[in-house]
Chains A and B, each alone.
Chain A
């Protein structure tokens, strides 16, 4: 059964000033994501992949088309779709634990329940001992781990990630990829992950959706069926390299198109 169903969704942004023509960010796009699937959306910068994610999150309204979650059209943002942003969006006045409990408290969950759930996710993202720290006391990688825990604590139907590791250094980024994949392998969640990093797109996904230059459309869908649990060493396997070469070519054409 498809959990998320995107049907002919298009988005055009109005011109910011009078006389500036509107920007077509997305051509009509259709995409289905199955329950417990992990898809990555790969595209050159400015292709509208973040717009697509923000539409699903309900932070933007589509100009045309429908977005269905479990068969119900979405209306605005909601706790059933957890989002991890590229920028660090932890609430700076709350501790790690309070950040993770933010959504639970909004639901009115009793303190004991909040504590139990936050304990579980603090353990899962490896932040035991940092429960009472404030965001500014954490490194970028740790902040993003809290952001993932905060989104997951709400038990959303789908987890949306918008280049969550984009601002991290390469070593941290690889560790974070393994961490997130580990969580997904255990918890089985439906995940939509937006990135411009080809390695990341293949390593994380069951299926890579390649987008064209703006106005974005889906150019190709490629299965990345490497066995789970995945280890970072698969990145050097011939199959991985072949897929990477194929996607590099696809993206290169689009990046060049975007440049002209």
Chain B
């Protein structure tokens, strides 16, 4: 192993799979040996069967769909406002001076702490779930985008001015394309953040969704269902992350290393 030297594609996949196998191996060992009681921790095989049962017999697909729609919906609402606001803050310093202190403060408000309040305000329906995701994503995203845009290369901006651009042209043709890959990357990271908030929102006051299934299973001591639910969240999160990354790589191939 040498510092910072990349590994081949084959060994990268091999190593990644190896850890998953080691993890599942340890899990199997703990459960099959009887070291941990079955009702505390279900075995991998039991989890797999329960996962199948959930999808096949208990309409878990609908729960997953609801959760995905809530995350994506809340995330899109946040992005639609955060992206233009972040760009405005990054380019125009007075706008930044106006919003930045509040947004920095609001970023540290834990979205999950708003859940009791939101239940009072908007009830336990979809609006509450979307608002939790929105609060969790919006402030973070705004600050990240403002910072990315503020980091626009000055020399490129100057070059654009000497080529005849006005302010609007500089924003459209230099600031936006230059910041786009990093903004897309920020969106990807914040979408991951949304996934961590949705389950909390669904644990309290929901009648559908992965989080709701987990709370129900807890009452029944069905650890196999809980673990299956957690694994599904992990898989869906991973899938959305990989898709996002692929789209980014395709759109912004110019910004990748040769």
Q: Are B254 and A103 in contact (CB under 8 A)?
A: no
Q: When the two chains form their complex, are residues B158 and A85 in contact, meaning their CB atoms are under 8 A apart?
A: yes
Q: Is the CB of A154 within 8 A of B258?
A: no
CB of B162 within 8 Å of the partner chain: yes
A92 to B161, CA, bound (A): 17
A117 within 8 Å of B (CB atoms): no
How far apart sit A92 and B156, CA to CA, in the bound complex (Å)?
A: 10
Q: Are A82 and B162 in contact (CB under 8 A)?
A: yes
Task: Tell me if A188 is interfacial: C-beta within 8 Å of chain B.
Answer: no
The docked-state distance in angstroms from the alpha carbon of A101 to that of B165 is 13
Structural contact, B174 and A77, CB atoms closer than 8 A: no
Q: Does B255 contact A (CB under 8 A)?
A: yes
Chain B proximity of A251: nearest CB distance (Å)? 27
Structural contact, A91 and B162, CB atoms closer than 8 A: no
The answer on a CB contact under 8 Å between B163 and A79 is yes
Mask of B136-160 contacts with A, CB within 8 angstroms, 1/0: 0000000000000000010110111
Q: How far is the CA of A59 from the CA of B170 in the complex (A)?
A: 14
Find out whether the CB atom of B164 lies under 8 angstroms from the CB atom of A78.
Answer: yes
Bound together, the chains give a CA A56 to CA B203 distance in angstroms of: 64
Q: Which residues of B contact A102 (CB under 8 A)?
A: 160, 163, 173
Q: What number of A residues sit within 8 Å (CB to CB) of B?
A: 26
Q: Is B169 an interface residue (CB 8 A)?
A: yes
Q: Of B162, B164, B174, which one neighbours A107 at CB under 8 angstroms?
A: B164
Does any Cβ of A come within 8 Å of B116's Cβ?
Answer: no
A55 to B50, CA, bound (A): 73
Expressed in whole angstroms, the Cα–Cα distance for A76 and B162 within the complex equals 9
| Total A-B contacts with CB atoms under 8 angstroms apart | 66
Q: Are B164 and A59 in contact (CB under 8 A)?
A: no
Centre residue among B162, B174, B180, B258 by max chain A CB count within 10 A = B162
Q: What sequence of 0s and 1s flags, for each residue 10-47 of chain B, a beta carbon within 8 Å of any chain A beta carbon? A: 00000000000000000000000000000000000000
Chain B interface residue count, Cβ-Cβ cutoff 8 angstroms: 21
User: Once bound together, how far apart are the Cα atoms of A64 and B158, in whole Å?
Assistant: 22
B177 at the interface (CB under 8 A from A): yes
Return the CB mask of A92-113 against B: 1 if under 8 Å, else 0. Answer: 1100000000110011000000
- B211 on the interface (CB 8 Å rule)? no
Contact between A83 and B254, CB atoms less than 8 A apart: no
A197 and B169 CA atoms in complex are apart in Å by: 36
Contact A79 B177 (CB under 8 A): no
Asked if B209 CB lies within 8 Å of chain A CBs, one says: no
Q: B165–A106 contact, CB under 8 A?
A: yes
Known: A78-B164, A103-B164, A107-B164. A92 touches B254 (CB 8 A): yes
Contact A93 B178 (CB under 8 A): yes
Contact pick for A154, options B156, B164, B173, B178, CB 8 Å: B164
Contact B162 A77 (CB under 8 A): yes
Q: Choose among B161, B169, B173, B178 the residue that contacts A59 (Cβ–Cβ < 8 A).
A: B161
Complex Cα distance, B158 from A81, in Å, reads: 12
Do residues A91 and B177 form an inter-chain contact, with CB atoms below 8 A? yes
A102-B165 Cα distance, complex, nearest whole Å:
9
A57 CB within 8 Å of chain B = yes
Q: What 1/0 mask marks residues of chain B from 176 to 187 whose CB sits below 8 Å from any chain A CB?
A: 011010000000
In the bound complex, CA of A57 to CA of B159 (Å): 10
A residues neighboring B (CB under 8 Å): 57-59, 76-79, 81-83, 85, 87, 89, 91-93, 102-103, 106-107, 134, 136-137, 150-151, 154
4 new A-B contacts at CB < 8 Å, known A87-B155, A91-B159, A151-B163: A93-B178, A106-B173, A107-B164, A154-B164
